[in-house]
Structure 1
Amino acid sequence: MNQLLSQAIAQWQLMHSIELIATVLALAYVVLALRQSLWCWPAALLSTILFTHVMWQSALLSDALLQLYYAAMALYGWWRWRQLQQCSAAERGPVYEWRWQRHAVLIGLTALAGLALGAFMAGYTQADFAYIDAQTTMFSVMATWLVARKLVSNWLYWVVIDAVSIYVYAQKHLYFLTGLFMLYTIIAIVGYFIWRSHYQQQPAVSLST
């Protein structure tokens, strides 16, 4: 009995230690992204590797798949931001924006994809919060791509995604993640205004394609 208890405590400590390290790296990614630093992407890559393990162990299967996508996007984001920097006289490179009609289409398509993923997860897996988790997963997929494309409004999507994620992670007793997403929500609001200011002050650029 004592051995089982000791193993359970050791496993809990290991899980939360991994979660803490991944949380610090994820927070570093967001802060660096807000500053448009290229080094946000290596921090994101290391964080996603650790979070994949945490999400899988917590039966948040959609989130586990999302972390693998984040890892791929970290590599793409590094390449894309370097490309933008090399093509611009400004050190950070330009930021872009879309017309509202394009956002409306993107939101509709992403929501439908989230419903489809939620139905699959609810019907064929043991995933918790299948529909909510699937929607945050699909919108996170979309919003991460918008970050890599340096679209100003990516931060508005993250405000909503992060707020919903706070509820899910609190219910799963992932306390570091809950705290992290509270910070994310605040940072996303600040990030939107900083990037929007940059967009308004930079020389005129064409809308992102």
Structure 2
Amino acid sequence: MDFLRWLFEAQIPVGGSALVLREVLGNIFGLASALGGMRRKVWAWPVGILGNLLLLTVFLGNVFGAAAPATLWGQAARQVMFIGVALYGWYRWKQGREANARGTAVVPGWAGTKVRVALLGAMVAGTAALTPLFDALGSYPPVWADAWTFMGSLLATYGMARGWTEFWLIWVAVDIVGVPLLFSAGYYASAVMYLFYGFFTLAGFFVWWRADKRERVEPAVVPAAVGAAP
């Protein structure tokens, strides 16, 4: 209990203000998860879930009695969404690693034109539908930005679970809107991390693009059985 009390109350002094420790730790776990995702490691999913749990308590703001700058219902809800989709991705990548002769969890590939159109439509429609809901809940303005980051995060995480290379570009679209929102709401640690993510996701896109071309050209090498004839 003492540890939990310390975790919820701890802050890091920065200049004349302070950062919530849980926000910093949650983003560190998120960065570690992104690095694992770039390398297509199954452990990226459980590590990300730990970060989501921490950030959930941060973005709920006064619900937990914390000294958070503002309550962002979209940011909080997307942590719950992350956990649900991450469980799906964890299961899917674990299965992929067991079935893939190369031992990698997922082979990157392009979603295709129809899926891209569907993703774009879902992004716009979902943002329009969630904006009045988040507004009614009292989310920090501009509320459409909170809804946009929620929908983009949902689609990007699902795309990562499916192995679609385009999911990195969806993250870029999330960061473009999410960084100004977080700065204006006073979540400076998350805003700086999102800013870094913007460059990181571009790098991840090219890493997966090259992996897609390489692994579709190179045949998988299946180890010979012990005692088998050469």
Q: TM-score, normalised by structure 2?
A: 0.80
Is the counterpart of residue 85 in structure 1 residue 97 in structure 2? yes
- Counterpart CA distance in 2 for 1:125 and 1:69 is 17
Is the counterpart of residue 195 in structure 1 residue 208 in structure 2? yes
Match of 2:102, SS state, is coil
Question: Percent same amino acid at aligned positions?
Answer: 24
Corresponding residue of 2:48:
44
- 1:29 is aligned, of 33, 55, 76, to 33
Corresponding residue of 1:146:
159
- Counterpart CA distance in 2 for 1:151 and 1:66 is 20
What are the equivalent positions in structure 2 for 1:1-209 lying under 5 Å apart? 11=9, 13=11, 16-57=20-61, 58-92=70-104, 93-122=106-135, 124-129=136-141, 130-203=143-216
Deviation for aligned residue 1:102: 2.2
What CA deviation, in whole Å up to 9, does each residue of 1:139-191 have, x standing for no partner? 21111100111111100111111121110111112111011111111110000
Deviation for aligned residue 1:12: 7.2
The residue identity in structure 1 corresponding to 2:44 is C
Match of 2:216, SS state, is coil
Deviation >4 Å, runs of 4+: none
Q: CA RMSD in A?
A: 1.7
Corresponding residue of 1:207:
none
- Counterpart CA distance in 1 for 2:115 and 2:46 is 30
- Counterpart CA distance in 2 for 1:108 and 1:119 is 18
The residue identity in structure 2 corresponding to 1:47 is G
- Counterpart CA distance in 2 for 1:101 and 1:73 is 22
- Counterpart CA distance in 1 for 2:134 and 2:25 is 28
- Counterpart CA distance in 2 for 1:184 and 1:35 is 15
What CA deviation, in whole Å up to 9, does each residue of 1:5-56 have, x standing for no partner? xxxxx95728711111111111101111111111111111100000001111
> Which ranges in structure 2 are unaligned for 5 or more consecutive residues?
1-7, 13-18, 62-69, 218-230
Q: TM-score, normalised by structure 1?
A: 0.87
Change (3 A) 1:21 1:90: same
Assess if the C-alpha contact under 8 Å between 1:56 and 1:64 holds in 2: yes
The residue identity in structure 2 corresponding to 1:83 is Q
Which structure has greater helix proportion? 1
Aligned residues: 194
**Larger radius of gyration, structure 1 or 2?**
2
What CA deviation, in whole Å up to 9, does each residue of 1:89-131 have, x standing for no partner? 1121312212223201221122111111102222x22111211
